[in-house]
């Protein structure tokens, strides 16, 4: 009995099988066309709702606001003054930094001189002679 089942299963596995669509080609094409049509209708409805929400007004162009010439000149003069102040402040800081660098160089030269003097000095005699 057991052998019959195996022999029957063996004959089923030896056959050649091919995949066949479960739905006819016309039905599949119709379904795809329906899905595409519904998607397009949904998109059109979304665009119509968007236009209705906006009130159908055209998009505003980006126009520059009119500028008062006097106000523009005042702003330009203020900016030039700020630039001049910044330049003066930078010049003062640079002058101070240059002076400090010169002082450092002078002090380094003095230190080098004093170090050289202490190395060449003869050994000092230790105090007064003992009695």
Q: Computed from CA positions of residues 41, 45, 50, 52, in that sequence, does the dihedral angle turn out positive or negative?
A: positive
DSSP state of 14: T
Q: What mean pLDDT is predicted for residues 111-130?
A: 72
Distance (Å, rounded) from C-alpha 110 to C-alpha 99? Answer: 17
- Range 45-70 burial, b when 16+ CB lie within 10 A, else e: eeeeeeeeeeeeeeeeeeeeeeeeee
Higher pLDDT, 118 or 29: 29
More confident residue, 3 or 60: 60
- Mean pLDDT value across residues 16-33: 86
Residue 68 near residue 61 (C-beta atoms within 8 A): no
- Alpha carbons within 13 angstroms on the beta-carbon side of residue 68 total 4
- Distance, in Å, from the CA atom of 7 to the CA atom of 14, rounded to the nearest integer, reads 11
pLDDT digits (tens, 9 = 90+) for 44-100: 999 988 888 877 566 666 777 887 889 999 999 999 999 999 999 999 999 999 999
pLDDT at position 129 is: 57
pLDDT band at 1 (very low <50, low <70, confident <90, very high): very low
Helix (H), strand (E) at residue 110: helix 69-120
Coil/strand/helix, residue 63: coil
Q: What pLDDT is stored for residue 38 in this prediction?
A: 97
pTM: 0.37
């Amino acid at each position: 009995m057991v052998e019959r089942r195996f022999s029957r299963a063996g004959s089923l596995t030896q056959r050649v099988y091919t995949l066949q669509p479960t739905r006819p080609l016309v039905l599949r094409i119709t379904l795809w066309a329906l899905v595409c049509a519904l998607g397009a209708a949904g998109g059109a409805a979304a665009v119509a709702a968007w236009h209705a929400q906006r009130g159908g007004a055209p998009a505003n162009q980006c126009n520059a606001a009119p500028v008062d010439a006097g106000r523009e000149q005042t702003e330009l003069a203020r900016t030039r003054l700020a630039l001049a102040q910044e330049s003066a402040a930078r010049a003062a800081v640079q002058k101070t930094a240059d002076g400090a660098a010169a002082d450092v160089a002078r002090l380094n030269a003095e230190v080098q001189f004093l170090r050289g003097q202490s190395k060449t000095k003869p050994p000092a005699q230790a105090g007064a002679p003992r009695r």
